[in-house]
Structure 1
Amino acid sequence: MSQQGDRPATTDDWWGRLYDESARDTGPAEAPDDTIDDRFDSAADTLGAEGAADATTRAGYGQAVDAIGVDDEDDEDDAGDEDDDVDVAAAAGSGPVSRPLAWWEARGAYPVIQAPAPAPASPPTIVDTPPAVPPPPPPQAPTPAPSPVAPTPLTPRPRAPWEPPPAAFDPSDARPLPGAVDPAPPRVTTPAPAPAPDPRAAAPEAPIPPAPEPAPAAPLTYVGDGPPTYDAEPTALPATEAEALGQLVADTVLDGARYGTYTLRAASMRGDSARYRGEPRRDALLTARFGAGPSALVLVAVATGARATEGAHLSAADACRWIGGAVGRSHSRLGEDIRAGRRGDLKSGLHRLTDRTYGKLRARAAELGREPEDYTASLRCLLLSADPDCRTRVFFGVGGGGLFRLRDGAWQDLEPLLPEPADIRGEPVLGFGSARSEASAEQTSEGDRLTMDLEITKPPGPVVEDPVPPPPEPFRFRASVARPGDTLLLTSVGLAEPLRGEPALGDELAARWASAEPPGLAEYLSDVRLRVKGYADDRTAVGVWEA
């Protein structure tokens, strides 16, 4: 039990009692007569040894052991060697032993170890030389042997009772210290020199460098006899006013989509001449989708304002916007007619929608106080169904432009042809004053006369002072069925004219679009802007790639 009676003392309590902070330090013990001999006798009695050396012998033995400074690793092995048991007094140079040594005191004599003499200098290094007739080595003077150095006696010191006696020292067990240098230097061998080259041997052939790969050819930027006159990039912006910012048009418009079995690419850009003069782009482009799913209808409209007229880009934009609104309101019926292949219904219906669009253009010109021919535009459109089972492509419009098809690597011009006025043949229309009408009035087919000529004077016709206006542009319509691999191209006048006038342009586009995969938007724009000298108008092109 502890002093408090709480719990029994455990083995660990001795540590607390030993290092208790409350215990007072007793201080050093007073032992004036405590000497090394007394301590040695006490240790010998405690261990049960019989007899011990006297004080002088013990002091001398301790000093000899301290002077030698040998480890006690081999004490147990040396304990049984009788040849090493000699008088300790002989090693220390003392008198007779007063008592026998203990078992752990029986050791042999410990002579004083003298420092070994330094090793003689090593002989000169022999260098192996491989020549056939080596030159004789130069004579070398013999190196005098170093004079022996007298050993320095070691002063023994007293050994403490707790220090074990050292074992006998054997110089053969000595090991080199870490970092010591081997007195014998390594043998140096000189490599044999390379044999002289044989002049009769043929010189090795130098390796032939690989032929440099040809640099990729730069893409064509124009076709024809020479480069175009104007720069290829825009130079001047069109002038505008603060109140007319909504009338600005971009230099280039790019769009695309993919529905059903076709891929659509559309681009419109300002011509080189318009870029140079800072005029706005007269071409307008509209791409719109009406409805969703297979019944959806895609409309692409391209319009070009009248040349050399003010606000030509505005009339083109109005034409695209109004035809888009008309098609969007009737897209369900138009989509059904396209999927069913009703050509007659499509032609008549689209003709009415186009006439309404031009009627709005004439009304807009009247609002602006301008002539109808000054505020007009050519209009060309494509209707594409989103149904993957429908491959009918419908074209309609009014005015100039181009409709082409690339099939089997060759271009086909699909523009509906219009008859020339001189090619029109036929009898005049029956009416008042014609010879046929007068003959009809006099007699029937059987020759009977129905009326009589009363010689009544006919009134004069109306006087026309102004020139007769040119007849309006005829309506154009075409519906065709696309085949896999076809490319349909709808263009404005700016691209249709160089395609018809420069065959190299059509050949280059056919080579670029020969692959089955349609080009990307950037690649398509680069193809469409391929320039031709002498053609600097705005360009608008709509390409449809059939899967």
Structure 2
Amino acid sequence: MTDDRVWGDVGVFRPRELGQPSRTTGEPWRLDGVTDVPDTVADAARVGTLEVRAASSRGARHRVNGHVRQDAMGVAELGGRFVLVAVADGVGDASHAHRGAHLAVRHAINYLTWALPGADLDVVDMVGALRAADRAVREAGPAPETRRTTLTVAAVELGWTGQGHRYRAVRVGDSPALMLTDGVFVPLFGKRGGGTECLPTPRGPADGVRGVLRPGEALAVTSAGVGIPVRESPVGTYLAQAWARPPGPVAFLHHLQFDLRAFDEDRTAVVVWAR
């Protein structure tokens, strides 16, 4: 017999409680009016000696209020040489932020698939991916301010001189990139480029970082719904342990469903492990 007072997963699929539970725990979800943005998307791959896991999920607050997921993510392989990553976090009060986020991700990845073949990662114009995304968000229709979104883009090149994998990342806004090394998440970007910066037409310069992803490390590109609790709560310890090695795709998605009060935004993460 079904008890209509009970809602949500039980057993092994129940979200991991990492403290006082969210006020939305146990509340039924509501459907939103946008049919082409699903509640959750996930992807996974092995590319040479890299393992890739990716997922984007509607936050608990959006689920119970019937609001569309405003995060977007994209991941692609390019010629067996590069793994491309893009994560966008639509600005909450923008009525079409989900459209801006999806446009930004798609056009950033498309730019890199055009610019990188035959190019050297050290000199390719990574900021061009942000410009392409900005143009797409701005020109998608009237009232571009309704499509405001952050964007973080990364490219990882396989097998650089046997010492690891070169990477570069750029961003507009506060969507983090982090390195998981020796069981600790280390932010790759500084404080500059905070939440006031977004597409379209950002006011300041983009943040940029480059480095080497070494065996045993993982590069994580996330939305604020993952990056902020990683820095400010027990979520950081939990995910560092859960992601010490590449989990299965379903397990990776489950890891993002942690339950912790005050952290109920959309959650998106793309993680690249060097095996």
Which TM bucket (shorter chain)?
A: 0.7 to 0.9
Q: Give the Å deviation of 1:417.
A: 3.6
| CA RMSD of superposed structures (Å) | 2.5
Q: Give the Å deviation of 1:360.
A: 2.8
Query: Does residue 391 of structure 1 match 2:179?
Result: no
Query: Does residue 223 of structure 1 match 2:11?
Result: no
Determine if contact 2:179/2:186 at 8 Å carries over to the other structure. Answer: yes
Look up the match of 2:250. Answer: 522
Deviations 1:75-127 (CA, angstroms, capped at 9, x unpaired): xxxxxxxxxxxxxxxxxxxxxxxxxxxxxxxxxxxxxxxxxxxxxxxxxxxxx
Correspondence list, 1:108-123, <5 A = none
Once residues 75 and 13 of structure 2 are traced to their aligned partners in structure 1, the CA distance between those partners, rounded to angstroms, is 33
Deviations 1:235-258 (CA, angstroms, capped at 9, x unpaired): 111025xxxx5xx21111110111
Determine if contact 1:416/1:477 at 8 Å carries over to the other structure. Answer: no
Once residues 246 and 193 of structure 2 are traced to their aligned partners in structure 1, the CA distance between those partners, rounded to angstroms, is 36
Q: State percent identity of aligned pairs.
A: 31
SS at 2:22 equivalent: coil
Look up the match of 2:136. Answer: 360
Once residues 206 and 49 of structure 2 are traced to their aligned partners in structure 1, the CA distance between those partners, rounded to angstroms, is 29
Correspondence list, 1:181-220, <5 A = none
Residue among 237, 240, 244 paired with 1:510: 240
Deviations 1:372-407 (CA, angstroms, capped at 9, x unpaired): 333221111121224474511221121111122221
Look up the match of 2:112. Answer: 327
Deviations 1:247-289 (CA, angstroms, capped at 9, x unpaired): x211111101111222011110000000001111001111222
Determine if contact 1:270/1:538 at 8 Å carries over to the other structure. Answer: yes
Determine if contact 1:254/1:268 at 8 Å carries over to the other structure. Answer: yes
The residue type paired with residue 263 of structure 2 is Y
Query: Does residue 474 of structure 1 match 2:205?
Result: yes
Q: Which one has more relative contact order, counting CA pairs under 8 Å at least 6 apart?
A: 2
Provide structure 1 residue ranges, at least 5 long, that are not aligned to the other structure: 1-215, 421-469
Query: Does residue 490 of structure 1 match 2:262?
Result: no
Query: Does residue 286 of structure 1 match 2:69?
Result: no
Deviations 1:100-158 (CA, angstroms, capped at 9, x unpaired): xxxxxxxxxxxxxxxxxxxxxxxxxxxxxxxxxxxxxxxxxxxxxxxxxxxxxxxxxxx
Correspondence list, 1:56-455, <5 A = 221-224=16-19, 226-231=20-25, 235-240=29-34, 245=35, 248-291=36-79, 293=80, 296-333=81-118, 336-338=119-121, 342=122, 345-346=123-124, 349-364=125-140, 367-368=141-142, 370=143, 372-387=144-159, 389=162, 391-418=165-192
Once residues 117 and 246 of structure 2 are traced to their aligned partners in structure 1, the CA distance between those partners, rounded to angstroms, is 29
Look up the match of 2:271. Answer: 543
Once residues 281 and 492 of structure 1 are traced to their aligned partners in structure 2, the CA distance between those partners, rounded to angstroms, is 12
The residue type paired with residue 60 of structure 2 is D
Once residues 283 and 497 of structure 1 are traced to their aligned partners in structure 2, the CA distance between those partners, rounded to angstroms, is 15
SS at 1:531 equivalent: coil
Deviations 1:515-539 (CA, angstroms, capped at 9, x unpaired): xx41101111111221221011100
Deviations 1:480-517 (CA, angstroms, capped at 9, x unpaired): 11222112211101111111221x11112222233xx4
Once residues 234 and 260 of structure 1 are traced to their aligned partners in structure 2, the CA distance between those partners, rounded to angstroms, is 42
Look up the match of 1:125. Answer: none
Aligned length: 257
Q: Give the Å deviation of 1:473.
A: 4.2
Determine if contact 1:228/1:533 at 8 Å carries over to the other structure. Answer: yes
Q: Per the alignment, do residues 533 and 286 of structure 1 end up closer, same or farther by CA in structure 2, a change over 3 Å counting?
A: same
Once residues 419 and 238 of structure 1 are traced to their aligned partners in structure 2, the CA distance between those partners, rounded to angstroms, is 31
Q: Give the Å deviation of 1:221.
A: 1.3
Determine if contact 1:498/1:532 at 8 Å carries over to the other structure. Answer: no
Q: Give the Å deviation of 1:540.
A: 0.3
The residue type paired with residue 88 of structure 2 is A
SS at 1:374 equivalent: helix
Determine if contact 1:234/1:272 at 8 Å carries over to the other structure. Answer: no
The residue type paired with residue 186 of structure 2 is Q
Determine if contact 2:15/2:259 at 8 Å carries over to the other structure. Answer: no
Once residues 104 and 128 of structure 2 are traced to their aligned partners in structure 1, the CA distance between those partners, rounded to angstroms, is 14
Q: Per the alignment, do residues 375 and 319 of structure 1 end up closer, same or farther by CA in structure 2, a change over 3 Å counting?
A: same
Please give the TM-score of this superposition, normalised by the length of structure 1: 0.44
Look up the match of 1:500. Answer: 231
The residue type paired with residue 147 of structure 2 is Y
